[in-house]
Amino acid sequence: MSEDNTNIAIVNSSTFGIYFPDLMQRLKKIGIVERITVDPQISGRELAVKLKGFKFVIASVTPNFTSEFFQYNKDVKLIARHGIGYNNVDIKAATESGVMVTKVLGIHERDSVAELAIALILICLRQIIPANKAVKENKWQDRRSFVGDEISKLTVGIIGYGNIGSRVAEIVKEGFGSKVIAYDPYIADKVIEKTGVTPVSFEELLKTSDVISLNASLNEGNYHFINKSAFDLMKNGVVIVNTARGELINQNDFIEALESKKVSAAGLDVLEEEPINPNNPLLKYPNVYILPHIGGYGKYSLRKMDEKMVEDIEKQIKGEIPEQIVNPEVIEKNITQFKGRK
């Protein structure tokens, strides 16, 4: 560890600095940089010990920075989330401990995640994966088994109409000509209507959508809100795509919906437990296409994300305030640190 405590930990990120070594070199000019991989379920106290002596943390979607972590670690001053979600950080505890938490600007991941959502929708509707598998197994004659649905003839429901959800809607509506409906309790109906999309209630979306794209951020009100009650309202043969957060779906109820054929296919880039347990029953369903959380893994997106992490650390060292602070209250708490703009 360096004596001036400008040590930087890159925790559980498999991509930061890998594709853009110039940004890693820029980070190394600040202090000693160390990659640290921990069990996603590591306790707060154990994590606190692991990160002893580090002032800056570039954090992936795991592990969880709990109140216990902040209780036992007083060295970390900045947690920069290498993504747009921050539900793995106890914001209240971070603020009380004077730790700033920042995140990536949503626009940086917008196209990358939205395009992956579209890809998953098409995979589900057109049976692309099994058709390709048949060719590799010399079963060309099976092509008559791979009749799919045209997205242009379907109603697509968007749950969560923020940066990413609105882009999914735009691509589907403008690119394919589909009917698009949307539900977002935090965005005014007039805002949605201006984009040419019809705002509807949660129940109406579930009842009328042929395809449902989950693009909502995780909060206390929507944990497992795609549950048995929700599936019961859906059309038979509905397609579900989730590129948001795995915790939005109750897995047991989801499996029941798959067994009953209520859900005909699903594309999942996120799961409640990541990485997936090899014994997870979802792995047995050939019509469930699971990806290892690669929504933001576009080259443009990754570079912007990496740049944001470096800029956050550079600004804090200079006494400036980074962009996209999750807990701005911490600025007042640590006001003496900041001599730049307010």
Confidence tier at 2 by pLDDT (50, 70, 90): very low
Report pLDDT digits (tens) over 254-288: 999 999 999 999 999 999 999 999 999 999 999 99
- 337 pLDDT exceeds 60? no
What φ, ψ does residue 178 adopt, rounded to 5°?
-75, 160
The span from the CA of 91 to the CA of 1, in Å, is: 27
- Burial grade of 39 (CB within 10 A; 0-12, 13-18, 19 or more): exposed
The string of pLDDT tens digits covering residues 216-247 is 999 989 999 999 999 999 999 999 999 999 99
- Is there a contact between 75 and 2 (Cβ–Cβ < 8 Å)? no
Selection from 128, 112, 123, 199 nearest residue 161 by Cα: 199
Other C-beta atoms lying within 10 Å of the C-beta of residue 61: 20
pLDDT digits over 32-61, tens only?
A: 999 999 999 999 999 999 999 999 999 999
What single letter denotes the amino acid at residue 165? G
342 has pLDDT over 80:
no
What angle do helix axes 106-126 and 163-170 make, rounded to 10 degrees?
50
**Which pLDDT band holds residue 332 (cuts at 50, 70, 90)?**
confident
Residue closest to 181 by CA, chosen among 203, 156, 161:
156
pLDDT of residue 1: 45
Domains of the chain in start order, with CATH, are: 7-104+298-339 (3.40.50.720), 108-290 (3.40.50.720)
User: Which residues, in sequence order, are CB contacts of 286 under 8 Å at separation 6+?
Assistant: 130
Percent of the chain with pLDDT over 90: 92
At residue 340, the pLDDT reads: 44
Query: Known catalytic residues?
Result: 245, 274, 293
Q: What mean pLDDT comes out for the span 324-331?
A: 96
pLDDT in the model for residue 220: 87
What's the CA gap between 41 and 20, in Å, rounded? Answer: 29
Residue 149's pLDDT is 98
